Chain A
């Protein structure tokens, strides 16, 4: 096991993941509404 140096910008990356999920859900809902 290597030393655990971790300089990952975790809060920013996590926010990006959650924003992407919200955008995906929004786009899918919009797609369903527009296509029906």
Chain B
């Protein structure tokens, strides 16, 4: 890495962190710390996007497009529908109750045990995800740049803790606006740079034709197969459930839009996110598509994670086998390039030949990856996750490398900061405060800062001990899907079924959570369906349990209390 890249990276990241601390230096009440100071819709929208866009999004998504094409975009099809439903039905309830956390609603509707069970599920799932949001980028930065893993973890963790503990929700929002700006500019610059680096006769249309011949442009799969991870239907239905759960019940998102200056600003922020999200993911996937097309003209490496490959080569016989695979990849590449050039000259009969060569390349790479997995020490970044960063370092000009690294670090900080902010707020509001009803505002503020720092330490510790996960983005999404179904179920019970009481809701949530874990461990069902199953189980079981327990007095959909901290 050149010094100009270091300057761009360090200046960008530190400027945003310092801005966050300085801008929120006057935060002196628990209200301002936990809820923010009334944000406008663009801050809310950008903050929601930045919370969801972790570093894993930018590292893994282009790699996923490189390997499997555009199909992953279907995961986001349910999101705009969820945003509309939340803006109509859920946001007004939260604002009318004047809550700090989503889980406060559950006590007003059911009882304290249901509130704390759901808040506890959130703490477990988001606490683990916060660790992963540090660990995943640190692992790839280590693999590609040779940075020390633990120091990278620690530096990113400390920076996120610094401004989150200092300024709370407001600091997270103001930094996320800038971080999201850097992320969008960085990815746009990356896309246009790769497009410009293609041979002059290719262009945008040629790029789409070549990617189509490689089988990478199938973005929409209308098949009804349950075992295919991303289809139109798993995206629209499963994706709707996961987005409803994530944006409606995960405090790291709820806190972003509860900080809106008014109901209007919060609603517009949600709808702004709904409009931007699919195009933004398309842009990130298209960067991966551009990289794969670039490598039809310039030979790609056999393995992208060079550090793991180097370690595996030290085992007896591995270097020779990898060299043989590399020679076959080189021959395959030359043959494929000739077919790609024919295609660009109008020879459509080259398409099946290109496809066959692409399959051959995939199988060679899989063989090489298996060799590395068997012979390199455990705890390596996956080869697919290293594609984008490795490409950036090989081909991008000085300065742009620093900007792309700043994109990754900004994304890691923004996702971690909003998670720590929400974990701290939930611990104080849903667990600490109910036992200290007489505490002063200063005590609440101090507790909120301490718990935020505590979760920062938990996240950094988890990141230090996390083991290898094959594909990081999917691991985080699967982790969410295991907990989100039951969490969404208990909120829907509250909104839709007034005859169900707290005990039935509590028992149904516990049993449904156990069933989803069993489904994950013992079935091949695509993980997006866990959300649907978990949610349906809570609704069905709660109705059954309530029938056994007998009738309760029908509750109001929400029971507006005095509001604020209980």
**Hey, which bits of chain A sit against chain B, CB under 8 A?**
1-2, 4-8, 10, 13-14, 16-18, 20-21, 24-25, 28-29, 31-32, 34-36
The DSSP consensus for interface residues of chain B is: helix
Among the listed A7, A8, A14, A28, which residue makes an inter-chain contact with B70, where contact means beta carbons less than 8 Å apart?
A: A28
Residues of A with C-beta under 8 A to B70: 28, 32
Nearest CB of chain A from residue B306's CB, rounded to whole Å: 32
**Given contacts A32-B212, A36-B218, are A21 and B278 in contact (CB under 8 A)?**
yes
- If A18-B81, A31-B217 touch, whether A24 touches B209 (CB-CB below 8 Å) is no
User: A5 touching B262 by the CB < 8 A rule?
Assistant: yes
Pick from A4, A17, A20: contact of B263, CB under 8 Å: A4
- Distance in angstroms between the alpha carbons of A16 and B232 in the assembled complex: 20
Question: Do A32 and B217 have beta carbons less than 8 Å apart?
Answer: yes
B212 CB contact (under 8 Å) in A8, A20, A28, A35:
A35
Nearest A residue to B563 via CB reads A1
Of the candidates B98, B211, B219, B563, the one whose C-beta lies within 8 Å of that of A28 is: B219
Residues of B within 8 A of A28 (CB): 70, 73, 219-220, 282
By secondary structure, the A interface counts as helix
Q: Which residues of A contact B263 (CB under 8 A)?
A: 4, 6, 8
Determine if B95 is an interface residue (Cβ-Cβ < 8 Å). Answer: yes
Q: How far is the CA of A5 from the CA of B261 in the complex (A)?
A: 11
Are A17 and B84 in touch, CB under 8 angstroms? yes
User: How many angstroms from the CA of A14 to the CA of B272 in the assembled complex?
Assistant: 10
Cβ contact within 8 Å between B217 and A35: yes
Evaluate whether A32 and B220 lie within 8 angstroms (CB atoms) in the complex, with A2-B261, A10-B267 already known: yes
B219 near A17 (CB under 8 angstroms)? no
- Give chain A residues whose Cβ lies under 8 Å from the Cβ of B77: 21, 25
- Nearest-neighbour CB distance to chain B for A11, whole angstroms, equals 9
Measured CB to CB, the closest approach of chain B to A35, in angstroms, equals 3
Q: What's the Cα separation between A34 and B211 when bound, in Å? A: 11
Would you call A2 and B262 a contact (CB within 8 A)? yes
Which interface class (under 10, 10 to 19, 20 to 34, 35 or more) fits B? 35 or more
Q: How far is the CB of B304 from chain A (nearest CB, A)?
A: 25
User: Are the C-beta atoms of A25 and B232 separated by less than 8 Å?
Assistant: yes
Query: How far apart sit A34 and B220, CA to CA, in the bound complex (Å)?
Result: 13
Q: Given that A28-B219, A29-B219 are known contacts, is A1 also in contact with B95, CB under 8 Å in the complex?
A: yes
Assuming A4-B262, A10-B88, A35-B211, what are 6 further A-B pairs, CB within 8 angstroms? Answer: A14-B271, A25-B220, A28-B70, A28-B282, A32-B70, A32-B217
Cross-chain contact B38 with A8 (CB below 8 angstroms): no
CB within 8 Å of A: which B77-120 residues: 77, 80-81, 83-84, 87-88, 92, 95-96, 98
Nearest CB to that of B216 among chain A residues? A35
Cβ–Cβ contact B73 & A35, under 8 A? no
Question: Complex formed: what's the CA distance from A34 to B208 in Å?
Answer: 9
Per CB-CB distance, the 5 closest pairs between chain A and chain B, nearest first, are: A35-B212, A28-B219, A35-B217, A29-B220, A21-B80
Q: By the criterion CB–CB under 8 Å, are A17 and B274 in contact?
A: yes
- In the bound complex, residues from chain A placing their C-beta under 8 Å from that of B563 are 1
CB-defined A-B contacts under 8 Å, sample of 5:
A28-B282, A32-B218, A35-B209, A36-B213, A36-B215
How far, in Å, is A1 (CB) from chain B's closest CB?
5
B264 within 8 A of A: yes
By a CB distance below 8 angstroms, the chain B residues around A5 are: 262, 264
| A17 partner, pick from B38, B92, B213, B271, beta carbons under 8 A | B271
Neighbour of A14 across the interface among B38, B87, B219, B220, CB < 8 A: B87
Q: Determine the residue in chain A with the shortest Cβ distance to B267.
A: A8
Q: What's the minimum C-beta distance from B20 to chain A, rounded to whole angstroms?
A: 24
Task: Give min CB distance, B44 to chain A, whole Å.
Answer: 13
Cβ of B561 < 8 Å from any Cβ of A?
Answer: no
Residue of A whose beta carbon sits closest to that of B279: A24
Per the bound structure, the CA–CA distance linking A34 and B409 in Å amounts to: 37
Across-interface contacts of B215 in A (CB, < 8 A)? 36
Nearest CB of B to A16, in Å: 8
B275 within 8 A of A: yes
Q: Which of A7, A14, A16, A35 has the most CB atoms of chain B within a 10 A radius of its CB?
A: A35
- Decide yes or no whether B268 CB sits under 8 A from chain A: yes
Among A2, A7, A24, A34: residue with most chain B CB under 10 A: A24
Residues of B within 8 A of A6 (CB): 262-264, 267
**What is the CB-to-nearest-CB distance from B466 to chain A, in angstroms, rounded to a whole number?**
34
* Contact (Cβ within 8 A) A8 B274: no
Q: How far is the CA of A17 from the CA of B563 in the complex (A)?
A: 32
Contact between B208 and A31 (Cβ–Cβ < 8 Å)? yes
Within the complex, the shortest CB–CB distance from B292 to chain A, in Å, comes to 13
Q: Do A4 and B96 touch across chains, with their CB atoms under 8 A apart?
A: yes
Q: Are A18 and B80 in contact (CB under 8 A)?
A: yes
Write out the residue numbers on chain B whose beta carbons fall within 8 Å of the beta carbon of A29: 219-220
Contact between chains at A14 and B268 (CB < 8 Å): no
CB contacts under 8 Å to A, within B552-566, are: 563
User: Across the interface, do B84 and A18 meet the contact criterion of CB distance under 8 Å?
Assistant: yes
